[in-house]
């Protein structure tokens, strides 16, 4: 459900995109300086926390490193505020439209007023967005239409929405009828599920009500009968064997390892025998050298991702096997390292 920013919001968002784009040569410059210093994937310390100190020491005199870090720090904090202000500028037009779409149907949204979000979610400003995913009553639209489509997509080296569709091609079947999505957010992956499996009944769970409201509006605008719930991925409340596919896209890195394991166990419980689980997320650290691992880790910390390292160092395949899954497979999409995808099957009753 797109929208055109008014002049102030458009100019501010364009500035955020342009300043980050302009800083890219600085990143390449300090990377070259780092290589010339003799510090590389082989000579970096084994301890991941010690690597940042080693890099800073090697680049202590680098203007490119200092300015690049300053720009990226500014963008990391300010892009969310700029998007929020851009929304507020046109709220008078959007809010009546939102109310109409939310009331239209055929999608449904169920929120329990007594629901308590998990402790790992409470008070966390994911992506350094002020207040986190609940920091603005319309954060779903702000994140989906203004941050994701206006800022992230223009800074990303590829089609982030095509990736969501492409990972579904790694599934072994095309006839799923009852799909549960864990971590629906504002509905981008839900759209990919709908387009790939147009006759399936799609159910989504998500912690953030503002995100769910945007997903609801997207579904209603397109006539899609999604069933949306404010529930945790690790405790969905659905009956055993209710679904034939459980899927998620880029949710695991926003959960600690214990919650990921619990979500896998929950996926196993709600899947019918023979059903599949597909989880896609960030590149495991074991697939990177020490320099790549350091880059991913420091970017995650600067980007407001408190659980990235836990997710990236967890053995997802073993966690799936521990939950009872068989035929567990993982790998990058089309031979790349990102997104990383794991598929697994709940065994049929007659399987060992």
Domain extent listing, the chain: 7-106, 156-345
Fold of 156-345: Rossmann fold (3.40.50)
pLDDT at 68 over 80: yes
pLDDT tier at 350 (50, 70, 90 boundaries)?
low
* 226 close to 215: Cβ distance less than 8 angstroms: yes
Asked if residues 144 and 186 have their Cβ atoms less than 8 Å apart, the reply is yes
Measured between alpha carbons, how far is residue 102 from residues 138, 199, 219, 223 in Å?
13, 22, 9, 12
Give yes or no for residue 15 having a pLDDT over 90: yes
Q: Does the pLDDT at position 281 exceed 60? A: yes
Residue 312: both structure tokens together: 């990236």
Q: Are 234 and 266 in contact (CB under 8 A)?
A: yes
Buried b (16+ CB within 10 A) or exposed e, 18-38: eebeebeebbebbbebbeebe
pLDDT at 155 over 90: no
For the segment 228-240, what is each residue's pLDDT rounded down to a tens digit?
999 999 999 999 9
State the average pLDDT over residues 322-327: 98
Instruction: Answer for the pair 270, 242: CB distance below 8 angstroms, yes or no.
Output: yes
Nearest CA-CA partner of 33 in 75, 66, 73, 78: 66
The mean pLDDT value for 123-143 works out to 93
Give Dmax (Cα) for the chain: 65
The answer to whether 115 and 175 have CB atoms below 8 angstroms apart is no
Quickly state the pLDDT bin for 351 (edges 50, 70, 90). low
Please say if the pLDDT value at position 1 is more than 70.
no
Least confident of 22-26, 130-134, 147-151, 201-205: 147-151
Q: How large a percentage of the chain has pLDDT more than 70?
A: 98
Quote the pTM value: 0.95
Rama region for 339: left / alpha / beta (φ>0; ψ in -120 to 50; rest): beta
pLDDT for the residue 317: 97
């Amino acid at each position: 459900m797109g929208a055109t920013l008014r002049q102030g919001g458009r100019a501010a968002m364009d500035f955020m995109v342009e300043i980050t784009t302009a800083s890219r040569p600085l990143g390449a410059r300090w990377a070259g300086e780092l290589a010339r210093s003799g510090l590389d994937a082989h000579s970096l310390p084994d301890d991941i926390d010690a690597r940042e100190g080693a890099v800073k020491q090697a680049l202590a005199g680098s203007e490119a490193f200092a300015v690049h870090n300053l720009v990226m720090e500014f963008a990391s904090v300010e892009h969310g505020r700029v998007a929020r202000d851009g929304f507020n500028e046109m709220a008078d037009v959007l809010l009546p439209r939102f109310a109409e779409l939310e009331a239209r149907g055929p999608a449904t949204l169920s929120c329990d007023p007594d629901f308590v979000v998990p402790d790992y979610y409470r008070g966390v400003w994911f992506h350094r967005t002020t207040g986190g995913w609940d920091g603005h009553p319309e954060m779903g639209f702000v994140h989906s239409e203004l941050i994701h489509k206006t800022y992230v997509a223009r800074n990303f080296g590829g089609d982030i929405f095509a990736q969501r569709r492409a990972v579904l091609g790694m599934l072994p079947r095309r006839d799923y009828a009852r799909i549960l999505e864990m971590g629906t957010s504002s509905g981008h992956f839900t759209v990919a599920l709908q387009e790939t499996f147009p006759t399936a009944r799609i159910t989504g769970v998500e912690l953030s009500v503002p995100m769910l409201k945007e997903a609801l509006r997207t579904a209603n605008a397109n006539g899609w009968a999604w069933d949306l719930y404010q529930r945790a991925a690790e405790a969905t409340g659905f009956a055993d064997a209710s679904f034939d596919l459980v899927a998620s896209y880029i949710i695991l890195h926003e959960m600690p390892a214990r919650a990921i394991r619990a979500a896998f166990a929950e996926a196993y419980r709600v899947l019918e025998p023979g059903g599949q689980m597909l989880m896609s997320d960030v590149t495991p650290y074991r697939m990177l050298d020490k320099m790549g691992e350091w880059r991913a880790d420091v970017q995650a910390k600067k980007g407001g991702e408190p659980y990235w390292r836990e997710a990236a160092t967890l053995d997802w395949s073993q966690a799936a096997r521990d939950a009872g899954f068989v035929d567990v497979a993982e790998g990058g999409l089309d031979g790349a390292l990102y997104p990383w995808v794991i598929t697994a099957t709940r065994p049929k009753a007659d399987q060992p």
